[in-house]
Amino acid sequence: MSLRDYKLDIKSNKNTLSILVITVLSLMLWILVSFTCAFFTALLLTCVIWNIEARYPLTAGLVFICAASIILAFNQHRTGDLIASWGFFFFAAAVIIALIRLLLRPVEG
Amino acid sequence: MATADNTIMDHGDATSFSRRLDRRRTGFLDYLKNKEYIPLYHAVCVILITVASLLLFYKSFSQGGILMHADMCWPTSMDRIGELYTHTWSPYGSSMNIWNIQRLFWVYPLLTIAKIFNFSVSRYLLTQFIFTWWLAGISMYCLAVFIMRSVKVKKATPVMVCSGALVAAVIYMYNPWCILHCWQYFLAPTYALQPLVFIFVVKSLNSPSAGNITKLALIMTLGSTCPIGVILLWIQLLAYALFYVTINRFKREKLLSSLKAIGSALILYVPLNALWILPYLQAQIAGKPFLPSYSTTISQTMIDSLSASTSIVNNLRLLTGGVWGVSFLVENNLWKILSFTLPVISIIALLTLGKKAFRNRYVLFWACLWPISVIVATGTSSFLRGIYLYLFLEAPGSSLYGWVIRYPDRFLFFVPVFYSLMVGLLIVILLSRTHSYKEEATSFESMASATGGNRLEKNSGSNSELITENRDLAAELGAIKRKLSLFQSRAFALVALTVVLSSLLSMVTVAGIYARRVYNPTRIPTDYETVNKFVSKDGDAKRVMWMPFDNGILWFSWSDGRPVGTFNVYSSPPSLNNFMQTYNVNTYFSWLEKFFSMNSNSEIVLAESPDLAGDEAAALFVPFAADFLIIDRSKMGPDMNKRLTGDGTLEKVFETEHLDVYAIKSARPFISAASNTVKVNSYFDNLSIVRKLSEDKKKQTVFINDNTEIDRKYGFIKLDSYSEIQNHNPEFEEWNDIWGPVGWIPWGDSSTAIITEDKEQKTEGERSIRIENSSAEQFDVAWLSGNEITGREGAMYTVESHIKYKNADWSQVVVEGFDTNREEWVELVKCPSIKTGTSDWQTHESSFILPSGIDRMRLMLAAGWVKNPAAGPAVTWFDDVSISKISDSFFDKLEARKKPPSVTYKKLSAEKYEVKVKGAEEPFVLSLSETYDPHWTATVEKSGEVSPVPLYSTINGFPISRTGDFSVTIEYDSQKWFTLGLFISLATLALCLLYLLLYWSGRKPGAAAVTFQSMVDWASKLKDSIEKPPRNARLG
């Protein structure tokens, strides 16, 4: 299923439950571990639960990293670092999704 | 006639030769044609990679010198370089050499070629450097072609694949991580072989045949040139095996084949690497692991500082690491943006490849390894902090491997493969699109001129005008489409060019800095060679000592502002100069340097009286057992000549522009016997004692400067047993509520000071003294004076103090003596000297001989002024501050001991000495002037093995209890394990190569098995023939 095919039906119990679980888990991780960990977990779970294709987080990662490069050029190191980290996590999520998808399909190469 | 015949024959030969040549040329061209010219493209790419590998070393082609930078440093003779890889102990600097033997298989092939062709050191090093870089490129090129073929990009021709692989190779050679981390003595060979290792890993897992496994084990052995290299290569193998099993959904057959591949590779890898595995294992089993000195200082602070720059953003750009004296951070905005080129292009490549990328197991494997590497390489600067710290400091066995993973950015090792591969793949995609649009343009051209026209003609019937119009329209449409396709083709070509250029530009900055600052050769002054010749002129291997001591990285006046390693120590005769020790702060080396340079900023400062200073250098240099002292004036560091020029035990015998050579009078032999072993508390105790001893006893006395103790029968004496405290109330335990500490009074104008007892902060007893100084005025120190103590000229005194301070400037403890001639108090010792800032409790110890003209002493405690007014008052605590006198009976006892036995020795190798002892009347300590290492052992004839104790915290001492005449063998035990390991490694290597030879010789299907079977058949025939009775016997 691609993002185009996906229709988020907030009234669906399944989706509501998923959103609830992700939100609670992320909040817990934010409090107990770190914001980065909560962000990454939320991102990954969102992509996996709604079966989002790897190219979407990959594109997001690309945008974030490009933005980080420009921000760093303006010597905003903290912001640049943070945005690049987010970009990196988008990419990591994409790779995990790709791996999961590969496991569900026959391989070539 | 004969001439004519010869001419005819010559002509005939020439014709046939020319025919043969033509045939071969045609055959070669046919071969190339059949292979679609692929071998030719590969050859061109190899040539281009070779050219690329030369670029980093361009300076070497225009100027002379040797490639060296910081600790990437070698001896200046080829023989010495060869010895580095076959000895577990290096006498040149005196250090364990286990790290170098790991590189034997990597170094020796080129070293042999260099010896055959009589290469100079500079040429050998340059060849090795270029070869490693070239190998990295070739290795990546092979992997890129291997993976690109499996990706099957639409309409990609062999030229495109080769072009993409070439770009990948160049990126792999010049990416910042490679430039910043790949030292020749260290990780460079592992990095260069990594892509090839991956190919063999894949082949071994797909088909775990003996041939594939042998090749994998061999190539991993070649790449195992350092401990972290071994770890990284095995991580790669295990990671791919795990990935392989996972994507095959843990199928039983795949799981078994993976286990077979890993197990077989390990079984072959261990004997192949026995040369270093055996000494390592022996050291572990004996409880004497090989650990560098800094492993004891590994702490959370250390790992935090090493993780300071390993943020995700830096790891993504591969901008971590770097070496001494080279700043690679460029403050240029365009470069900052360009530094993101490789990760950005890699993501674009993944997006462009789409499903093809993620469905290809190799691409997906490297894509998975990328984020894992980046996140692990953050060390303690990310959310993995807790896990990394646990693995580094607390996990089982972390004390052994923790130091290997101290630099987290080394885990970025896997990232350059991914970047190179992705950029290469993107180039292939872009070129294939260029090609397909070009083909489209050609088809539009033909459509306009032929097919399209005919079709229109049919549709238009006989209307000639309409036909013409239609033809024109079709031609116009075809032309537009052709132009559009051509434009698209050119646009893709331009994008491909932009990708290549931006990738190269992003790497040029760091590579350029390194080409100019690190990989440019250094011209070493001829002084070193001249001095080496001078000290070896008798043909005898005289020992030397170099000052200032080397701490691994040095700055010389002639080195053009760059750090240069210890080439002088490596290249001169044997010496004691172990940089593992000289790195540390409280060593005998650092104490000697501070003492002889008269450093006023030392922790402890001894105010020298003219009647005591001088003529003690030889006694203090005893551990070095050196005949010559060489002072290097070109070395940035303290001026050693200050005190040494006036020392009567040294004589200047040679001088060059940069070096002074002193002969050391009556130096102690390299191996000698001592009848007295004195346990002291500070190196100043060594100094005071040798000042008091007679010349004979100086040679017969050695010192223990740490907590080690040996039996008294060896002449062991503890200095503490002969000391008597002289001052009253040293621990401030006697306290008067009105006057404060009994025996101590405030001195001078201390109106800003509040003196109180502190029962919380103390070292021992019930209390310490706390002096709060609220003055922020410079030099407004609050002084507390101890009672006067009667002193005796020429007697030895020791001082001990404990101090703690907060926000203080200039706190110290001073021993003053009353000069009867000048009628004033003068400083004798500062113990400690000026202390500034904030610190927990510190202990300081010193000793001195009371100079003539001083008849009494007193202790002065100085509580410094406020360092930072915003941080409140300055507070200094003192506890247990004492002066002790060493009893004369101590020196009487030293003088009373019998003479030690006479000792002669023969050097069998750098690791083995045969010692003859004559006339031992009582137990003694045999000293060996090599750096203390528990692997040195002494085997006493008919008595057994003796382990060493550290003398002077620096060299080895063997307590020998046997008396009379006997022999002792002193040996560095790892060498015999290395020799055994080397035999196993070479035998395994020979078997592996023999097997591969048979494998490649055409008898592929189990060549070894076939050979073995034929041998078995032959043996059974032989057996039969032996067992059968002779023909005539049977007939009979």
Residue with the two structure tokens 């490693």: B132
Same domain, B822 and B956: no
Q: How far apart are CA B371 and CA B350, in angstroms?
A: 14
Same domain, B222 and B243: yes
**Interchain pair B347, A62: CB under 8 A:** yes
Residue B280's pLDDT band, with cuts at 50, 70 and 90, is very high
B288 CA to centre of own chain: 21
Residue B689 lies in a domain: yes
Which domain, by its residues, includes B1024? 1002-1035
- Does residue B467 surpass a pLDDT of 50? yes
Same domain, B982 and B848: no
Give B417 or A46, the one with higher predicted confidence: B417
Same domain, B737 and B780: yes
Residue B672 lies in a domain: yes
| C-alpha closest to that of B314 among B372, B368, B376, B378 | B378
Residue-wise pLDDT tens digits, B232-252: 999 999 999 999 999 888 889
Of the candidates B248, B361, B382, which has its C-beta nearest A109's C-beta? B361
Same domain, B803 and B693: no
Lowest mean pLDDT among A74-78, B205-209, B255-259, B338-342: A74-78
- Does residue B692 surpass a pLDDT of 70? yes
**Residue B2's pLDDT is what?**
44
**Interchain pair B344, A105: CB under 8 A:** no
Same domain, B805 and B774: yes
B166 Cβ neighbours under 8 A, 6+ residues apart: B45, B48, B49, B141, B424
Residue-wise pLDDT tens digits, B899-919: 899 999 999 999 999 999 999
Residue-wise pLDDT tens digits, B1000-1032: 776 554 555 565 566 556 666 666 665 555 444
Q: Which of B876, B892, B908 is the last residue of a domain?
A: B892
Residue B416 lies in a domain: no
Residue B382's pLDDT band, with cuts at 50, 70 and 90, is confident
Over residues B573-596, mean pLDDT: 81
Q: Which of B829, B859, B892 is the last residue of a domain?
A: B892
A2 touches chain B (CB under 8 A): no
Lowest mean pLDDT among B208-212, B338-342, B737-741: B737-741
**Residue B462's pLDDT is what?**
60
Share of chain B above pLDDT 70, in %: 90
Residue B421 lies in a domain: no
Q: How far apart are CA B614 and CA B220, in angstroms?
A: 57
- Provide the CB-side half-sphere exposure for B175 (13 A, CA): 33
Give A11 or B802, the one with higher predicted confidence: B802
Over residues B344-359, mean pLDDT: 88
Other residues' Cβ atoms within 10 Å of the Cβ of residue B920: 22
Interfacial A residues in 37-76 facing B (CB < 8 Å)? 37, 54-55, 58-59, 61-62, 65-66, 68-70, 72-74
Residue B927's pLDDT band, with cuts at 50, 70 and 90, is very high
CATH code of the domain containing B774: 2.60.120.260
**Residue B3's pLDDT is what?**
47
| C-alpha closest to that of B221 among B203, B237, B244 | B237
Same domain, B1022 and B919: no
**Interchain pair A65, B343: CB under 8 A:** yes
| C-alpha closest to that of B678 among B596, B613, B608, B619 | B619
Q: In terms of CA atoms, which chain A residue is nearest residue B336?
A: A73
Residue B623 lies in a domain: no
In chain A, residues with a C-beta closer than 8 Å to the C-beta of B337 are: 69-70, 72-73
- Does residue A107 surpass a pLDDT of 70? no
Over residues B286-314, mean pLDDT: 81
Give B600 or B312, the one with higher predicted confidence: B312
**Interchain pair A55, B354: CB under 8 A:** yes
Mean pLDDT of chain B: 87
| C-alpha closest to that of B151 among B356, B351, B355, B345 | B356
Helix H or strand E segment including B945: strand B944-946
Residue B822 lies in a domain: yes
In chain A, residues with a C-beta closer than 8 Å to the C-beta of B309 are: none
Q: Which of B257, B287, B317 is the last residue of a domain?
A: B287
**Residue B697's pLDDT is what?**
87
Same domain, B910 and B880: no
ipTM: 0.80
Cα-based angle B435, B441, B442 (whole degrees, multiple of 5): 95
Same domain, B729 and B711: no
**Interchain pair B360, A109: CB under 8 A:** yes
Q: Testing the interface with A: which of B336, B366, B375 to mutate, by most A Cβ within 10 A?
A: B336
Domain count, chain B: 5
Same domain, B745 and B772: yes
Residue-wise pLDDT tens digits, B19-57: 777 877 788 788 878 878 889 999 999 999 999 999 999
- Does residue B128 surpass a pLDDT of 90? yes
How many A/B residue pairs have CB atoms within 8 Å? 94
Q: Which two tokens stand for residue B405?
A: 């993973």
Same domain, B745 and B885: yes
Over residues B535-556, mean pLDDT: 80
Same domain, B901 and B981: yes
Lowest mean pLDDT among A16-30, B76-90, B646-660: A16-30
Lowest mean pLDDT among B81-85, B333-337, B799-803: B333-337
- Does residue A32 surpass a pLDDT of 60? yes
Q: In terms of CA atoms, which chain B residue is nearest residue A102?
A: B359
- Does residue B98 surpass a pLDDT of 60? yes
